[in-house]
Structure 1
Amino acid sequence: MAVRILVALACIVVMLRLSKAAVYKVGDSAGWTTIANVDYKLWASTKTFHIGDTVLFQYNPQFHNVMRVTHAMYRSCNNSNPISTFTTGNDSVTLTNHGHHFFLCGVPGHCVAGQKLELNVTHPVSFTPLSDPPISSSLSPPSTTTIPAAGVPGPSPNHAASLPSAAAAVVYLLVFLVFANFIS
């Protein structure tokens, strides 16, 4: 009985951590602009970005836009071939992979004036089991491929269980224990 309670509590904690995706308004109250002299590098350095978080660009679409670009394009303020362009003035970008993400305003002179943003999405937190894993298992670890977010080499692959896969394992274990209890 105590094991089931511990498993249920672990499942709840993992699921709560997974549901905490944040929404960040770029530049806070100033938004995405050149007028307020926002230091977007400083702004980003005060945040911790995770997969699933959303970055909200709010701006006047008559004067600005948002372009997602490569690292080289970001460094040189080159807007000639962006990965994607946003022009609504209320653009939400969900961060779906770890690594560096680069954005700039494509209006001439704005990027050079500092209207550019680099975000670093951290690796998911690894789940550490409470006890040693079994020596042999019929399940092999999933094959993963790390793709850099925007032209910047990412870290080497980490084969530790990520939080989502750990959550799935905990849920599976919880369901197994419940059904095993019904059968016996």
Structure 2
Amino acid sequence: MGLIGSRVPFVFVIAIFILPAVALATEYVVGDNDGWTIGVDYNDWAVDKKFYVGDVLVFKYNEGSHTVIKVNGTGFAGCITSPNSGVLTSGDDKITLLTPGNKWYICGVSNHCSYYYQKLTITVMPKTMMWPPATAPAPAPEAGIEPSQPASVAAPGSY
């Protein structure tokens, strides 16, 4: 019992730091309802999103119609793959973003990348975790002005 009892606080501490990071990950279906296909502007899709380490990209498409290939910047610009590029083909490919930086993905089917621009580039930001979450400090009162009294708060259900 002594060994088990001594591990409980350690496991608890680990859980406090690991679980929030996992819970905060976002899963993005690339192209939203359109999925991974031709005729979608993936630059437009990604422009208002912020991607962080731990987030997951989900590429949904009809199996056999498309592929997902992670490439470098040169491969992205020229729609070129290298012999060691991993090719995903399931139609429900999930990629966990493990490192910060630029990421590039293309479709390797026929001319889908070069002619139809079926390609995605994103920038992944590092995950910063602060515990407890930071709060903004209250502003300092201006010189010569007395701080005002806090407004009264209405009782629940009275508004």
TM-score (norm 1): 0.57
Aligned-pair identity (%): 36
- 1:118-139 Cα distance to aligned partner (Å, 9 max, x none): 111012236499xxxxxxxxxx
Amino acid of the structure 2 residue aligned with 1:22 = T
Match of 1:26 in 2: 30
Q: State whether residues 65 and 107 of structure 1, in contact with CA within 8 Å, keep that contact through their aligned partners in structure 2.
A: yes
Partners in 1 of 2:84 and 2:48 — Cα distance?
Answer: 26
Q: 1:63 to 1:97 in 2, by over 3 A?
A: same
Partners in 1 of 2:125 and 2:82 — Cα distance?
Answer: 28
Q: Aligned ranges for residues 32-181 of structure 1 at < 5 Å?
A: 32-34=36-38, 37-81=39-83, 83-112=85-114, 113-125=116-128, 127=130
Amino acid of the structure 2 residue aligned with 1:38 = V
Q: CA deviation at 1:114?
A: 1.0
- Residues matched between the structures, number: 118
Partners in 2 of 1:114 and 1:82 — Cα distance?
Answer: 22
Question: By percentage of residues, which structure has more helix?
Answer: 1
Q: 1:13 to 1:63 in 2, by over 3 A?
A: closer
TM-score (norm 2): 0.66
RMSD of aligned residue pairs (Cα, Å): 2.5
Match of 1:165 in 2: none
Displaced runs of 4 or more, over 6 A: 11-14
Q: CA deviation at 1:46?
A: 1.6
Partners in 2 of 1:114 and 1:83 — Cα distance?
Answer: 19
Pair member with larger Rg: 2
